[in-house]
Structure 1
Amino acid sequence: MSTLTTPTKSQMLLFQAWRATALQIMPYMASTLFALRPVATTEVDTFAVDDGMRLYINFDKCAEMGPQFGAEGLLHECSHLLAEHSMLAEVAGVTDEERKMWNIAGDMAINDDLRDAGCSALAAHGVFAAQIGQPDYQTPMTYMEALRRKMAAKPKQPQSGQGKPGKGQQGQGQGQQGQPTDQSGAPMKGCGSGAGSDKGGFELGNDDMQGKAPAASGAEKQMVRISTAASVRQHQEQHGIGSVPGGIAQIVDEILAPSVTPWERVLASYIRRAVAHKLGQHDTTYARRHRRRMNETLRNKQGGIVGRVIAPGYIKPVPSVHFYRDTSGSVNDHDLALATNEVLAIAKKLGIRGDDLVVSDIDTEVHQSKKFAGLDSITEIQGRGGTEMGEAIVHATNLKKKPSVIVIATDGETYWPTERPSVPVVVLLVNLRSEHWKENVPSWAHVVEVKSND
């Protein structure tokens, strides 16, 4: 059984010293650093954090590694919380078996920013995208897909008693589960459920250690994120845009993005995160050459041509959304109009239409499916029978080309499948009439409420 204790006086002095050093590296992280609830345990390798902002610390191990490591460890866990990697794992449909792999993907997505901010100890031992042949500054989903591909291509290890893999059989920087490792070759342990990793047996859950380690509420976590985002903006104003790593600046832009109503920002954020690429980002590919660098040559000191530069071109990944309108008899015309307006908002927010934004009507079965081409293309309604929104999920997951995310606009008066689907789901509750139906939505779906302004 795990032993969790409140840090001793000497341990708290260590924690406070690490926090002070962390503030010197990234002063704008103050709100998140001071919101952490430290818990002492030997069940973690170094640090781990849960979804209630409780920080589990192996003080003996961390103290041996020095104050710089301790400070950077705090900033690493804070970055997982700021980026909401726990929520993003749910939105992205990460299975329980993939949790450790997701943790690695999240580590890669934040470690490059931490290195750029001056985390020298982390730069020496941390997990980086280069270990799996990927570029820096990508999203967790980009790295997750790369890890999945590596796992799919990796030959199965022999079962116990069937021999051991020979030296060099595992790739450099890869553990027995296909995960990057530290320099000792041992698989890295997870950062806890706050990073979207496995919920370790050491985590407190609903327990608060007799009031000494209460979990942060949803409202508290949101206030900490907003406060941290505001500090980042202030730091940028005083020291310039480049004074904050780009990944953190992007997260802050999402947190502080102006919107007319809260649901719009949340919905757009869920969709952008689910498809792994934020608006304005581009990837490079050698399948398409860079049009402005097609004729570049390499020359020697005498001016002779010794080769040509093949520069990659740019591609812009585009999200695909399948939007299902609940057209059952319990949904009135006003609420249907609200749902239709949400299609327009998604199209405008993400800049998509046609094959990338398909709208289907559903009651107990899916009726027409239309490619969005403006409001006129989706004004006709079909259905008006009973209600079974689970059919929307069955329909979407059976499509030959699965969407990046499923959005279901409904009054909520329906039942849902119990198993998590393979595609992320956002449930848009339109003018909800009973909290019972909100509570009835499975935990694997993300809920956004849309209410009339009338």
Structure 2
Amino acid sequence: MNADGPRTPAYEEAVRVRIATARLRAAHQAPYLASAVFALNPVILEPALDEDTGAPVADPGFRAFPADTRWNLYVEPGTALAAPVEEVAWWMLHQVGHLVRGHAARSPVRPEPGHEAGHAAGDVRDEEAHRWNQAADAEINDDLEAEDLRGPAGVVSPTDLGLPAHRTAEEYVPMLDVLADAMGRGGQALAEAIDCGSAVDGQERTYADSASGEGLTQLDRELLERSIAAGIQDRISARSEVPSGWRRWAEERLRPSVNWRARLGATIRRGLSTVGGQVDFSYHRPSRRAGAYADIVPPSMVRAVPDTVLVMDTSGSVGNDVLNRLLAEVTGIIDGVAGPNRRLRAFCCDVHPHPVQVVRRPSDVELVGGGGTDMRAGIAAAMALRPRPDLVIVLTDGETPWPEQRPAAQVVVCLIGDGGHAPGWASVARVPADVPWRVPAKGES
């Protein structure tokens, strides 16, 4: 340290120039996102230096210029100096997409207690977090491609993978699961493992400690998003080109009605498809090729319909009217996947589970109970059933203790209202406390 303070490393000025140049390029390429690009707060990390030259060495774990939910953009000097300006600009627009689309808030991945800051770039994350990152990438990369902005090698591209464009991350997750499984059997990876930071999944990384207290406040983010949405609407009114994903986002942002039905449906359908995609042989229906065999009747392949159990929180904090309306939603979704009029087993649970009910329609459920809440008892009762369920759907306000260990079945928690919480091992869909009555589909009772 000299009299004028600590010396700025020689590489830092070059990094700042590279970031400033890339920022201008990104704003020019997508002017409707210019304010978002300039709102990014670059945080220059401590690099690894070459022992001989003293120059920063690129770290592949930071190739995506990861961001956090406070709009801090983490810049690893070696990576920034090695990447072309065009690539840095592309990653800036990519990270803006994660931030503005709210991927961290929508993420199905939740930090485990005591591990909120457990990820560093390059760490191996659990499969669900990795898949969500890829699905969120797919949601925003097709909009970049619509602007003729092709991503660097190795990124997820719906076009290159043969997937439909203009879908949400929630819709891309099951598609990528199927595609990754098929490609894995052929010894081919779906895409490179790229970590976009907590901006995509809400799980803090260890390197984010260097930006403690920096970035945008919640109010800053709200005002910025409304400004971006208004700007996009102005461009649409002036008949300027805006990718369809950003058009949809701006419309929803300025008319903030969360499509909770789509989120609930995607979450339940994903749980059903996870356990229903398994196949087995059955003699109930002989194979169509039976004629090719003289004295043998070969079995055919069948797909099992997932056995689903509903656990309903009937404590004093959850009204029967809300439960009745939510039951209509949930059973309508299940009917769409498993077929209409399928028998469901259902528990009402307050502190203790009440006797199991076997129903065909939501109106058949008798809501009983009141008092305290303990969903541990309800889930335990569901898992004790024989045959054991494949999927357990819990309807609750979340003001309850939860099992510490993940049950053997898939669990979907429908959180009613803005409070409460769900365990990290469950899939979660939050629904409003004033659930409107569902309009039955044609042919439904």
Per the normalisation by structure 2, the TM-score is: 0.62
* Residues 203 and 384 of structure 1: CA distance in aligned 2, closer, same or farther (over 3 Å): same
CA distance in 2, matches of 1:139, 1:56: 26
Give how far 1:27 is off. 1.9
CA distance in 1, matches of 2:29, 2:358: 52
Q: What is residue 395 of structure 2 aligned with on the other side?
A: 408
CA distance in 2, matches of 1:32, 1:101: 26
Determine if the alignment matches structure 1 residue 189 to structure 2 residue 194: yes
Give how far 1:236 is off. 1.5
**Aligned partner of residue 118 in structure 1, secondary structure:** coil
Determine if the alignment matches structure 1 residue 34 to structure 2 residue 29: no
- For this pair of structures, how many residues does the alignment match? 352
Q: What is residue 313 of structure 1 aligned with on the other side?
A: none
**Aligned partner of residue 415 in structure 1, secondary structure:** coil
**What amino acid maps onto 1:194 in structure 2?**
A
Q: 2:67 aligns with which of 49, 53, 56?
A: 49
Contact 2:314 2:368 survives alignment (8 Å) = yes
Give how far 1:76 is off. 0.6
Determine if the alignment matches structure 1 residue 145 to structure 2 residue 129: no
**What amino acid maps onto 1:327 in structure 2?**
T
Q: 2:132 aligns with which of 102, 110, 132?
A: 102
Q: 2:368 aligns with which of 371, 374, 382?
A: 382
Q: 1:245 aligns with which of 243, 246, 249?
A: 243
* Residues 269 and 123 of structure 1: CA distance in aligned 2, closer, same or farther (over 3 Å): same
Q: What is residue 106 of structure 2 aligned with on the other side?
A: 88
Gaps of 5+ in 1: 157-168, 182-187, 260-264, 278-319, 433-437
**What amino acid maps onto 2:230 in structure 1?**
A
CA distance in 1, matches of 2:142, 2:342: 31
Q: 1:327 aligns with which of 290, 309, 314?
A: 314
* Residues 351 and 251 of structure 1: CA distance in aligned 2, closer, same or farther (over 3 Å): farther
Give how far 1:100 is off. 2.6
Give how far 1:247 is off. 2.4
**Aligned partner of residue 239 in structure 1, secondary structure:** coil
Q: 1:365 aligns with which of 353, 358, 383?
A: 353
Give how far 1:56 is off. 0.9
Give how far 1:208 is off. 3.5
Determine if the alignment matches structure 1 residue 17 to structure 2 residue 16: no
Give how far 1:45 is off. 2.3
Give how far 1:338 is off. 4.2
CA distance in 1, matches of 2:430, 2:404: 16
Give how far 1:47 is off. 0.9
Q: What is residue 91 of structure 2 aligned with on the other side?
A: 73
**1:109-128 superposed matches below 5 A:** 109-120=139-150, 122=151, 126-128=155-157
**1:155-174 superposed matches below 5 A:** 170-171=187-188, 174=189
Q: Deviations over 1:45-88 (max 9, x none)?
A: 24111233221123443344333222211011111222333333
CA distance in 2, matches of 1:276, 1:208: 39
CA distance in 1, matches of 2:64, 2:417: 41
**Aligned partner of residue 381 in structure 1, secondary structure:** coil
Contact 1:38 1:56 survives alignment (8 Å) = yes
CA distance in 1, matches of 2:412, 2:73: 29
* Residues 348 and 371 of structure 1: CA distance in aligned 2, closer, same or farther (over 3 Å): closer
Give how far 1:131 is off. 5.0
CA distance in 2, matches of 1:223, 1:276: 35
CA distance in 1, matches of 2:244, 2:382: 35
**What amino acid maps onto 1:90 in structure 2?**
P
* Residues 347 and 91 of structure 1: CA distance in aligned 2, closer, same or farther (over 3 Å): farther
Q: What is residue 450 of structure 1 aligned with on the other side?
A: 433
* Residues 154 and 19 of structure 1: CA distance in aligned 2, closer, same or farther (over 3 Å): closer
* Residues 91 and 348 of structure 1: CA distance in aligned 2, closer, same or farther (over 3 Å): farther
Contact 2:265 2:333 survives alignment (8 Å) = no
Q: What is residue 428 of structure 1 aligned with on the other side?
A: 416
Contact 1:86 1:196 survives alignment (8 Å) = yes
Contact 1:115 1:123 survives alignment (8 Å) = no
* Residues 395 and 148 of structure 1: CA distance in aligned 2, closer, same or farther (over 3 Å): farther
* Residues 30 and 372 of structure 1: CA distance in aligned 2, closer, same or farther (over 3 Å): farther
**What amino acid maps onto 1:195 in structure 2?**
V
Per the normalisation by structure 1, the TM-score is: 0.61
**What amino acid maps onto 2:264 in structure 1?**
I
The RMSD of aligned alpha carbons is 4.5
CA distance in 2, matches of 1:387, 1:378: 23
CA distance in 2, matches of 1:77, 1:426: 30
Q: Deviations over 1:356-409 (max 9, x none)?
A: 998863322254365556xxx268422336532235555778875637xx4623
Contact 2:25 2:86 survives alignment (8 Å) = yes
**What amino acid maps onto 1:56 in structure 2?**
Y
